[in-house]
Structures are given as structure tokens and as C-alpha cells.
Structure 1
Amino acid sequence: MDCKNFNEISQEVINWRRDLHKIPEIGNDLPLTVKYVKEVLDSFGVEYRTDFSNDSSVVVTIKGSKGQSEKCIALRADMDGLPMSEELDLPFKAINGNMHACGHDAHTAIMLGVVKTLNEMKAEFSGTVKILFQPGEETNSGAEPMIEGGCLDGVDFIVGLHVGNISTELEQGEIGVKSGPLMACMDKFTIDVKGNSSHGAYPQGSIDPVVISSNIITSIQTIISRELDPIDSAVISCCIVNGGTAFNIIPDKVQIVGTARALTKEVRKHISERIGEIAKSIAQAYRGEVEYKYLFGPPPVINDDEVSKVIFESAKRAIGEDKVVELKKPVMGGEDFAYYLEKVPGTYVFLKNPLYVDGVAYPHHNGKFGLEEKYFVNGVKFFIQTVQDYLND
């Protein structure tokens, strides 16, 4: 595809992204977003299906006409936003109380550009491309229903891309590729600590769940510092602590809610068991009780080694060798793209393109998060080159 055509598709991607940015929706309920995506797809004249267990999943199928081939590659974009208000005063700012604060509007727009381009050049390749427009990434509820609905049937491998400022190893406009562990699991735990209430002036009459909770929060950090090999990255964060109604009343219960992140199944299993064991032991020592729940979310994102090698070369051909980095370090964020990787080989990559506001690149899930639009085309080029390299090899 020549430079002129990429310039044209670049502006279209920017326009689609701005339209989508105005209408962020949450979870698996994306009626406006899906309506918009389907209208754009209809203008291309491509085939797609929406008969999944929710009304917000779309899978496009493009078959090359160059010759007969059983090869099939899948590309994935997520579409959902976040329940938070936007603080940037953009001309295309969302005004419905939600925000595309993680870049999924860009993922969707980039993939629309990929669909249009592949459809126009299908005489240049053989085989099949499946393009997955997925809801519910932020709620960890979108990938599995699509898999159950057959989106990966016949697929040899899958590729995905995340925009923004996820890896510190990248410079603006660069794409990062990594073999093996790329992102952590995304688990949640809840610890309900039960004691006995009393007047704050007479603590001897209580079983203080605040003291118990404080000891639990401190002690479970030793799982990371004293029970894991220092080279095994993991995180335990207590992010919500609720308890009490007045300054002079010791409450009868406190709830701790947090997240655990790990890069391997073994470390994940150890953490899930030990948080509960430590919490229950501490509560018993202080004469209290604990109810412990651990919710296993998406597993770690583990990129396939062989696919990653192929993708690395495709990325270099797409945007230039000096713009592609072999990442050394994983990140502790999570992604439900991991569910696809449990079913078929694949690779997830990062494109760095944060928008600097007053000299600051605000992180994902922040009200001032923004994206530098001129680098969206690098994502389009990457996907197109990957498809061409695999299907024409």
C-alpha cells in the first residue's frame, strides 16, 4: 500500500476515533458504539456477524481472492470505555459521564482502518482474516462469550495492540514486541473482618476489626517480600478499606478489597492461597473472624515465542526498524486478551502515543488521559503488514 493511501486512511481513522470518543459506553452494553461500527462496516461492504450471547460483539471476515489457502489470522480491538468523567477540554469531548480513558476508541478506529484497507486489497492475499470488535474488556466479560461463540474457529494465531503509555521502554510512535509474559493476571480479593463493637473509650470491651485489618494489610505484603523469589514479579494492593460509622465507636466489621497481580500460574496460585491463610491466622490471634473470597480474573498475557518473532519482523517492515523495540520487561497491568491466548497462539503489542498535556503524559484511567492521533496510522500499518506476511508466506 503506498504512502498516499496510508495518509488518507490515517485521517479517516482520526475522524472515526473522534466520533467514537464522544459516545463512550460501558461493559457489554454498547448500543451506540456498535451501531456506529456497523454503519462504517456497511459502507465498506464487508461481511460480519453479531450473533453472540450479547448484542455488542462484531466479527468481520475478509477472505483473500489471490488463491486458495486454509490459513486464518485473527486481529482484535476492544470498544468499551470507563465510568468516569473526562477532564480534557477536547472539541470531541465525551459529555455522557463516561470516558474513553484507556484508548479503546482508538483501537476500534485503527481496526476500522485495517478492515477498509484489507477489503480493498483482498486480491493481493489468500487465506482469511477475522477481525474481532470486542466489548467488555474493562469488565473482563467480553472475550469469553466471543470465544464461546466461535470467534476463534479455524484461527491459526491472533494479534492485538494497545495504544497509550504502557511501557517505559518505548519512545513516542514506537511499537514494542515481547515474547513470553507481557502482562499480569487481573485478580480481585475481598477480606471481611468480623469483630465486636465497643465504645472507643473502652477498647477492652471490643474485638477490634480495625486493628485486625491493619495487621492483615501489613502482613500480606510479606508474601511478596519474603515468600516469592525476588525475580518473580507480583503485586498485592489493598485498594478499598471500609469500616466504622463514628469517631468514637469501634466497629464490628471492616472490609478490605484489593487486587493481586502475577506473571505465572504458580505465583498466582500461591498468592491466592496465602492471603487467605494469613488473614485467617491473624484474625484468630486477635479473637476475630475472617471471610475470604478470591476472584480469578483474566490470566497473565503470555505471548507465543514463535509468533512474537514473526510479529517483530512484520512490525519492522511496517514502520521501520528504528521504530520497533524488543521489550525486556513485562508490565503488571492486565488484559482479557489473555483468554484468546489460552486458546490459540498469539502476540499482544504496545504502541506508544500518549498526548502530553502541559508537559505531562497522564496515565490510562485518568481524566486527563489523551492520545497523539498522528501515530494511529502506525497501528494500521502494523496490522496490514502482519496479515500480508503471514498469509502470503
Structure 2
Amino acid sequence: MGLGALAEKTVAELYPEMVKWRRHLHQHPELSFLEKETSSWIAEKLREFGCEIRTGVGGHGIVAVIKGGLPGPVIALRADIDALPIQDEKECEYASKTPGIMHACGHDGHTATLLAIARFYNENRDKLSGERRLIFQPAEEVTPGGAIEMVRAGALDGVDVVYGVHLWTPLPYGSASSKPGAFMSAADEFVIDIEGKGGHGGLPHNAVDSIIVGSALVQGLQSIVSRNVNPLHPAVLTIGSFQAGTTNNIIAEKCQLKGTVRSFDETTRFMIHYRLETFVRHTCDMYGAKHSYHMRVGYPPVVNDDKEAARFFAVAPTLFGETGTLEAEAITVAEDFSYYLLEKPGCFMFVGAGNPDCGAVYSHHHPKFDFDERAMKKSAALLIGMAEHYASEHAE
């Protein structure tokens, strides 16, 4: 029996352990860049399995290396390990025990999935062609993120291809999706501080009203996407916060706007940055207001390799069926898996984890977020299937 066929059977046998691992992690979440205990726990499990590991990679990251008994390619598989600053509102036995912190995005499931894959590969080294490099990455949720530091620390050195999965509750359990090319957007954040001249609400001619300036920016900035971006290149510019003023009869001297930009290609992305800064400067100058502007550049877009996306559409139907294998639409959510895809060919995939029957109906980052744990079996089988399909094509 080949590894691909063996994987589904073995992963099914490991499923009770996967649930146990996931629930332990769910009860003991840690925030981005602070995953010390999570990392130690993962390392302990990997050592129990007999894996060769590197710890402290790019922070609290871990790289497990499993070398096969047969020649072949080096294939990387990645899971993220961090949680979010959200109070867990679920009523279940495995709810977070840490006030104000929970796994509200499925990273606990990603980690449990990759642990099962580590155990599977380590127990089948003699049948393994090449090397499997398992990346347990910290700090996906907060920029600058953990992926870029793991890349800098050599996590992908010598790797031929890289794959990652996200458990995704908007998709029902039993389905999976991906797409070639741009899949997930870049996400950048900006802050605009405006300083006018305060004054009496009845004497506006003696003041520079920062609220008027801010309002002009809220309206005018929308023209960047509608009139400067090619309509065939998706982009979003949103003002999410407008803070100014204290009472009804005082002209506000200061105003602050916060917003986000989402885009799918670097040309559009940085054109928007340039136009935004230019528009802010000219608008404030026109009203006679001072300003400061700061753009925080976030993750690049997730761009799947065309050939590796085609591999997904060859492998996934064997696990999800033809009707359960879907071509995803591009989504304006960011993921720092993008940094791995800037370095190596690969594919990022969604595995359906939504199920009303087990309460998995809430969106990611919701206080009641949960997922159908059976999706972890599907994720493990998909990642192993992708790796073994690639290995069979690139055997030495």
C-alpha cells in the first residue's frame, strides 16, 4: 500500500488523538509572539514521535524534519499555532481556560493536524521518498507575522514545494476549495491624524474644522478604487474608524481616521498607497489643516502556483468527491502563508469545517467559533495526498 492510500487509514486511527491534542490546545491558547508554552508542548509531542526538530525558529517556531528511506524531493507542510485576544463564549468542556484569549480561527486544529502528519510520516520513514519538513509557525494573526521570520531563519532552505491548509467554517464539512493564482488579498492598515484649529461652533470662520477635513477624506478616498484602480483588478479601501470632537458646540481641532486596503497584486497595492498619501496631503492642504499619515504594510497576497493548484484539483476529488471539490473565489482576507509562496511554488487550500449539527456556524474570529473536528482528518489526508502526489512525480 502506497503512502497516500495508507494515510487515510492511519489518520482515521489517529483521529481520537487529534481531537485530544486539539482540545488541549483550545483550552490553553497563547497570543501571537507569546506562544512559549504552546511551542514547548508541540516540541514534546514531536520528540515522543521520534522526530528530529529545531526549536526557536523565527521566534517560537518549530521545524520537524523527517527523512525518508528513499530518495526524493523536500516537501514542506505548515500549520500556525497562535490564538486571538477574544473571550471564549462557548459552553463546552474544552473552552479556553485563559480569560480573554481563545483559538477563534482554527489554528489549534491546524496544529493537531500537522502533529498527526508528523506521527504518520515518522512511523513510515522506510516508505517515504525524500524529506517532509513540518513547519509549526507562530504569530500568523499579527503583522509582521511569523512566516517571514521563519523564512529568514531557513525554514524553507532546500525545500522544493510547500503546502498549507486552513480549516474553513464558511465551507461545509466534506468539501474543500482552492484556486490558481491570487487567492487571498494583501492587507494593509493606515492611520491619518488631522490637526485643524479649534473654535466656537457658532464662529466656524475663525476655525479649521477637522471633522470637515475628515469627512472630505472619507468621501474622496473612495474614488481611488472607483476611479484609479483597473476595474478588472479587485481592491477595497475601507475607513473603519472616525474619531473627533467632544460636544455639540465646539469645532474639533483634531480628528483621526483608521482604515484598511485590500488588494491582490503588488502594482495595484502600491498604486493605492501612493494615491492615498497624495490625496490626504492635498486635501489637508486645501483646508489649511496639518496632518500625519502612516501606512502599515501587512502581508502580501496569497498567490498559488498554477501547477500546484492543478495538483489540488487532481488530489482533492479522491477525498472529497467531484462535487465536494470546489474552485474558490478570491477572498479579501489576508494570510502570511503568502511569504512561503513568494519563496517556493506551492498551494494554500481551504477544507470545509462548518456544520450546524455541532455548532460550527460562527465566523472565524467570533467568540463562539468552533469547527467540525472531523475536518482535521480530511486536512491531514489532503496534505499528505498533495505531498505524495508531488513526490511520485519527482522521484529520483
Q: Distance in 1 between matches of 2:226 and 2:346?
A: 32
Aligned to 1:185: 186
Secondary structure class of the residue paired with 1:342: helix
Aligned to 1:151: 155
Aligned to 2:340: 340
Whether the 8 Å CA contact 2:162–2:345 is kept in 1: the answer is yes
How do 1:270-281 and structure 2 match up within 5 A?
270-281=271-282
Aligned to 1:350: 350
Aligned to 2:213: 212
Whether the 8 Å CA contact 2:176–2:325 is kept in 1: the answer is yes
Whether the 8 Å CA contact 1:125–1:391 is kept in 2: the answer is no
Instruction: Give the aligned residue type for 1:73.
Output: I
Q: 1:47 to 1:2 in 2, by over 3 A?
A: closer
Aligned to 2:3: none
Q: 1:20 to 1:122 in 2, by over 3 A?
A: same
Overall identity of the aligned pairs, in %: 34
Superposed CA RMSD: 1.8
Whether the 8 Å CA contact 1:118–1:384 is kept in 2: the answer is no
Aligned to 1:241: 242
Whether the 8 Å CA contact 1:24–1:100 is kept in 2: the answer is yes
How do 1:358-373 and structure 2 match up within 5 A?
361-373=361-373
Aligned to 2:65: 61
Aligned to 1:256: 257
Q: Distance in 2 between matches of 1:33 and 1:295?
A: 28
Secondary structure class of the residue paired with 1:150: coil
Q: Distance in 1 between matches of 2:162 and 2:8?
A: 26
Secondary structure class of the residue paired with 2:129: coil
- CA displacement 1:206-262 (0-9 Å, x = unmatched): 101111101101111111222222222111111122223334322221111111000
Aligned to 2:202: 201
Q: Distance in 1 between matches of 2:66 and 2:315?
A: 20
Match of 2:109 among 106, 109, 113: 106
Q: Is residue 47 of structure 1 aligned with residue 49 of structure 2?
A: no
Secondary structure class of the residue paired with 2:225: helix
Secondary structure class of the residue paired with 1:110: helix
Q: Is residue 30 of structure 1 aligned with residue 35 of structure 2?
A: yes
Q: Distance in 1 between matches of 2:7 and 2:288?
A: 72
Aligned to 2:23: 18
Query: Cα distance, 1:355 vs. partner?
Result: 4.6
Aligned to 2:316: 315
Aligned to 2:125: 122
Match of 1:94 among 92, 96, 100: 96
- Which stretch of structure 1 is more off in the superposition, 241-250 or 155-164? 241-250
- CA displacement 1:77-130 (0-9 Å, x = unmatched): 001111111111121111311011111111111111111111112222210110
Match of 2:169 among 165, 172, 194: 165
Instruction: Give the aligned residue type for 1:363.
Output: S
Instruction: Give the aligned residue type for 1:78.
Output: D
- Give structure 1 stretches of 5+ with no counterpart: none
Whether the 8 Å CA contact 2:8–2:381 is kept in 1: the answer is no
Whether the 8 Å CA contact 1:355–1:370 is kept in 2: the answer is no
Instruction: Give the aligned residue type for 1:229.
Output: N
Query: Cα distance, 1:191 vs. partner?
Result: 0.9
Instruction: Give the aligned residue type for 2:216.
Output: N
Aligned to 2:136: 133
Q: Distance in 2 between matches of 1:333 and 1:233?
A: 13
Q: 1:155 to 1:95 in 2, by over 3 A?
A: same
- Give structure 2 stretches of 5+ with no counterpart: 1-5
Q: Distance in 2 between matches of 1:92 and 1:375?
A: 17
Q: Distance in 1 between matches of 2:65 and 2:11?
A: 22
Aligned to 1:294: 295
Q: 1:357 to 1:87 in 2, by over 3 A?
A: farther
Whether the 8 Å CA contact 2:58–2:146 is kept in 1: the answer is no
Secondary structure class of the residue paired with 1:302: strand
Query: Cα distance, 1:316 vs. partner?
Result: 2.4
Q: Give the alignment's TM-score, normalised by structure 2.
A: 0.93
- Which stretch of structure 1 is more off in the superposition, 355-364 or 339-348? 355-364
Instruction: Give the aligned residue type for 2:40.
Output: K
Secondary structure class of the residue paired with 1:111: helix
Q: 1:60 to 1:3 in 2, by over 3 A?
A: closer
Secondary structure class of the residue paired with 1:353: strand
